[in-house]
Structure 1
Amino acid sequence: AFAFELLDGDVRVRNESYADPTAHEYRVRIRDGVPHSCSCPADASGDGPCKHRVAVAIRPQVLELAVQMRVVADGGSTSSGDDDTTDLPCECEQLSETLPCWNCVDAGRRDLSE
C-alpha cells in the first residue's frame, strides 16, 4: 500500500508494504499536472513510468492537491469557482490599533504587517 505526502507541489510516495517503509520513499515531480519523473531507480532506468508515478496518476485527488499546492507556492492563487461568499464587515474598531480584524485580513483590505 502506498502513502502520499505533498511536497511543494510534488508528491512523496512511500511503499508501506516494506518492513522499513522510509527506505522506500521517492519524490514524484509534477509538471503541468502530470507525474513527470520520480527519484526511484526504476524510473531512471525503465522505458515507461515507474509504479510511483502511476500511483499518483491514478489518484486524481492527490494529483489535484499537488497542482494546487504548486500554484500557491508560486505566489498564485487557487479558486474552486463556486465561492459566492461576501466579505464580512470591518471590525477593526473593536480591536487594538496595532492589529487589523480577521475580516479585513481575509478580504485583503489590510494585512498583518500594518
Structure 2
Amino acid sequence: MTNAFTHLDTTRRVVKRAQYEAFEFECCDGGIRVRNCSHAEPAEHEYHVTVDDGIPVACECPADAKYSSACKYRVAVAIRTPLLDAAATQAVADGGTVVSDGDAAETDECDCTDLGDGFPCWECYRTGKRTLPE
C-alpha cells in the first residue's frame, strides 16, 4: 500500500494540527467520520472524509471547500494507516451498499444455507465465520 499522505497537497501548519489535535474516528459508508474533540463543542466539528482507493479525497469541512490544499481532517486520516485499512474493509465489492452491522454479525443466523454449494454469505465470509469452499 502506498503512503496516502504523499498524495495530499497541504501545508506544514495543517500537518502539525492533524497530529496534535484530539480527533475521534469512526468508519462509515464511503469513508471516515472525524470528530475534533479539541473544540469546546466537538459535535459541531464533526465531518465526513471520503476515502477513495486508500486516499482521503474530500471532506465536508469548510476549510476543504475553501482552500485548494487538503484540510487537517483529510491529513489526520491519511497519517493513520489503520484507519485507511479499516475504511477499505467497509467497501462492498459487488457495488452493493454497506449495511449496518448492528447485532446481525454477532448471531449464528444468516442466509448461508440458502446459497447452496457451501458458499457463505458476504457477512460470514467478511467476519471470518465461514470460508469459501475448496
TM class by smaller structure: 0.5 to 0.7
1:61 to 62, 82, 95: 82
- CA shift at 1:70, angstroms? 1.4
Q: Distance in 2 between matches of 1:111 and 1:58?
A: 35
Provide the identity percentage.
46
- Bigger CA radius of gyration: 1
1:36 aligned residue (57, 62, 65):
57
Question: TM-score of the superposition, structure 1-length normalised?
Answer: 0.64
Q: 1:9, 1:68 within 8 Å by CA — same for their partners in 2?
A: no
Q: What one-letter code is carried by the residue in structure 2 that aligns with 1:20?
A: E
Once residues 38 and 94 of structure 2 are traced to their aligned partners in structure 1, the CA distance between those partners, rounded to angstroms, is: 31
SS of 1:71 mapped into structure 2: coil
Unpaired runs of 5+ residues, structure 2, are 1-21, 97-107, 122-134
2:45 is the alignment partner of 1:21: no
Aligned to 2:66: 45
Equivalent-residue separation in structure 1 for 2:120 and 2:78 (angstroms): 38
1:71, 1:61 → 2: CA distance?
18
Q: Which residue of 1 aligns with 2:17?
A: none
- 5+ residue gaps in structure 1? 76-100
Match of 1:89 in 2: none
Contact kept, 8 Å, 1:8 with 1:73, in 2: the verdict is: no
Amino acid of the structure 2 residue aligned with 1:15: N
CA RMSD of aligned residues (A): 2.9
Distance 1:71 1:65 in 2: 13
Is 2:91 the counterpart of 1:70?
yes
Q: Across the two proteins, how many residue pairs are aligned to each other?
A: 86
After superposing on structure 2, the runs of 4+ consecutive aligned residues of structure 1 that deviate more than 2 Å are 71-75
Look up the SS of the partner of 2:89 in the other structure.
helix
Shift in alpha-carbon separation, 1:23–1:74, aligned structure 2, 3 A: same
